[in-house]
Amino acid sequence: MIVAGRKVAVVGMGGAFPTCTDLDDFDKKLFAGESLIRNWPKAMAYDKQIRSMVAGYITEPEMNLEAIHPVPETEYPETYVDLLGRIPDLNLATADLGCVWAMLGAQESIKMAGWSKSEVESEQTGVVIASGGGGNVISRHAWHAFYELGKKTRMAGSHTVDRAMSYREAANVSCLIRNKGVCESIISACATGLGNIGYAYRLIKFGLQDRAVTGGVEGTALETFIGFDAMQVLSKGFAPEQSSRPFDLKRNGFVCSFGAGIVALEEYEMAKARGANILGVIDEYFNNSDGDGNMFYPSYDGQKRLWKGLMAGGNIKPDVVKVHGTATPVGDILELISVVDTIGEEGYHISAPKSQFGHMLGAAGSVEFIASLLMLKNQKVLPCINSDELNPELENFQKKDGWEGSDKPAAAYRHLISPETVAKEINQIVCLNYGFGGTNSALAVSRDI
């Protein structure tokens, strides 16, 4: 049950972003309309086996990490050395690459929040962080050493379990910051990042916690990339910076990317009383399932019900709708129609940050939430780059008997989707993310006025 009068503020943020040295660099590149997508050498090394060759990836050196390979047969590092001394060796020993990013993002968020040591370690401070997939990189090398090379189990390393378990990001962050409140992972495919933030919001809104470090992660992994490439859902045939094309007529799939987005949430009155810099106030969160039994196909009905649930909880009138916008053939336009059929065709803009940094899977919702907070800060709408031409004809699903949504083509909504950065007053943003299995998440965040 919601505790009357409790609101939730965002007071810190951090993470790991492709090609970016830090959050400020991420901010600068996004609003300059730059793409963070590159040709990926790891994919290109398997030229005859892989269709797509581009990704938004991050290397160890780019995060000031040194990979330690004490045994030649173990291709994946046994541990990392933090060249800047940010994370103790003991914590690095239990972490895969994504966990390191999560810990760094947690440190950045807590520092920005200005929480004291006693506040961080309180029973009223929770950790809710997850990634979209299991520890495939760790597992592959462990099993290869055992099954293919015939090595003893110790060759897999004593931390295979804790570095590969589904709960690893939350566990590593909790051990690093020593909080005594909730420590959980909410895993919901590509809705994971926003779903974790939404769950943490509810913990505070319902009076179960006063603070939370929360978000999503997806560590760089060719193993993850291979699975999506096998489904033939990844973009191909374009230059790297042109590969992610939400809403564009020539879109042919998403760009697989990696990163981390971590935010610090706090009960609003507590944050206000101590003079915290409030980055945004979460107005409402809602999530649901499509309920149609389809694992992959987007649901107009599910998305409409998502909006209905979000709007039932408060005053929702966004200046920007941050869409999921993956650049898949059906998903983009069906999502566009679910938006315009709900809130109309005027008075707001649509932003698709995946056009700039690709689809970060488990980290997508949280990194895009950070991008939304930056839009609130800068009072600018991020561009939907590469949306060069919108379809002037109806989509096939709009022509089917029984279709109840808009009968206008995507081109009719060109005024909502700008390929350039737009300066305007932004007071509220609605963030949308969806995942396999028909899971949907929506969150509204506003400026603190």
pLDDT in tens, 286-313: 999 999 999 999 999 999 999 999 999 8
Residues labelled catalytic: 190, 324, 359
Q: Which residues contact 194 (CB under 8 A, 6 or more apart)?
A: 216, 364, 365, 366, 368, 369, 431, 433, 441, 443
The three-point CA angle 208-211-215 to 5° equals 105
153 — pLDDT class (breaks 50, 70, 90): confident
Q: Is the pLDDT of residue 72 over 60?
A: no
Q: What is the pLDDT of residues 163-194, one digit of tens each?
A: 888 999 999 999 999 999 999 999 999 999 99
Q: Is the pLDDT of residue 159 over 60?
A: yes
**DSSP letter assigned to residue 284:** E
Cα-based torsion angle of the residue sequence 372, 329, 416, 434 in order, rounded to the nearest 10 degrees: -30
DSSP calls for 386-447: T-----SS--GGGGSTT--S--S-GGGGGGGB-SS-EE----EEEEEEEETTTEEEEEEEE-
End-to-end CA distance of the chain: 27
Cα-based torsion angle of the residue sequence 287, 288, 290, 296 in order, rounded to the nearest 10 degrees: 50
Query: Residue 241, class by beta-carbon neighbours within 10 Å (0-12 exposed, 13-18 middle, 19+ buried)?
Result: middle
Residue 70 has what pLDDT?
Answer: 65
Residues in a beta bridge with 39: 54
**What mean pLDDT is predicted for residues 363-383?**
98
Residue 152 has what pLDDT?
Answer: 84
Phi, psi of 363 (to 5 degrees): -95, -10
Contact 382, 353 (CB under 8 A): yes
73 — pLDDT class (breaks 50, 70, 90): low
Q: What is the pLDDT of residues 315-359, one digit of tens each?
A: 999 999 999 999 999 999 999 999 999 999 999 999 999 999 999
pTM of the model: 0.96
Instruction: Please name the CATH architecture into which domain 8-398+410-446 falls.
Output: 3-Layer(aba) Sandwich (3.40)
Minimum mean pLDDT range among 100-104, 155-159, 233-237: 155-159
